[in-house]
């Protein structure tokens, strides 16, 4: 699979199509494989990494963070964390007002917004594993559906040639 369509990204992340379009437009989370570029009929294609980013951003918003704070924290993470190499190692802590990045050794907590107290964790590694499991289930369902279509086509071909 080359990437995930917006519809698939919605199913796999729990985000709405409106959220995906808006977050792309405001440069919060953009599809890295293909953007619409404002052209109708051109699909957004999301990479696995984008699905993780979508779930992280949605999780922060669902837990009371404002979009402005999520944007500032996510921009900070993109600039400072090697997200491609350390997706499973990055953890975020927030109290609904600030967002902190916890180093993989649990000895360093960096305030992504420069204020606030610690309250709960958003473990990007856990979200990455959940997305991977959902993608695996999605691909299995997709393969089963395609196999069923092949069987139906075969049955129709046999019936057509027999009549």
CA-to-CA dists, residue 62 to 5, 127, 145, 153, angstroms: 23, 14, 33, 44
Q: Give tens-digit pLDDT for 10-28.
A: 999 999 999 999 999 898 9
pLDDT at position 20 is 93
Query: Which range is least confidently modeled, 85-89, 113-117, 124-128?
Result: 113-117
Residue 17: predicted pLDDT: 93
Q: CA 69 to CA 74: how far, in whole Å? A: 8
User: What does the DSSP assignment read for 96-118?
Assistant: SS-EEEEPTTSS-EEESSS----
Of 41, 62, 50, 63, the closest CA to residue 23 belongs to 50
> What is the per-residue pLDDT across 123-152, written as a single tens digit (0 to 9) for each?
677 778 888 888 888 888 888 888 888 888
Between 80 and 65, the more confident residue is 65
Under 8 Å between Cβ of 75 and 103: no
pTM over 0.85: no
Q: What is the CA radius of gyration of the chain?
A: 20
């Amino acid at each position: 699979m080359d990437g995930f369509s917006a519809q698939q990204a919605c199913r796999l992340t729990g985000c709405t199509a409106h959220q995906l379009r808006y977050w792309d437009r405001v440069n919060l989370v953009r599809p890295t494989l293909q953007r619409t570029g404002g052209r109708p009929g051109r699909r957004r294609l999301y990479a696995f990494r984008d699905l993780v980013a979508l779930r992280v951003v949605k999780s922060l918003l669902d837990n009371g963070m404002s979009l402005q704070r999520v944007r500032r924290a996510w921009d900070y993470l993109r600039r400072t964390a090697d997200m491609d190499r350390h997706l499973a190692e990055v953890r975020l802590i927030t109290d609904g007002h600030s967002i902190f990045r916890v180093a993989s050794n649990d000895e360093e907590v960096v305030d992504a917004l420069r204020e606030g107290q610690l309250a709960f964790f958003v473990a990007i590694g856990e979200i990455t594993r959940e997305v991977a499991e959902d993608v695996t289930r999605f691909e299995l369902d997709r393969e089963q559906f395609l196999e069923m279509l092949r069987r139906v086509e075969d049955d129709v071909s046999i019936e057509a040639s027999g009549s």
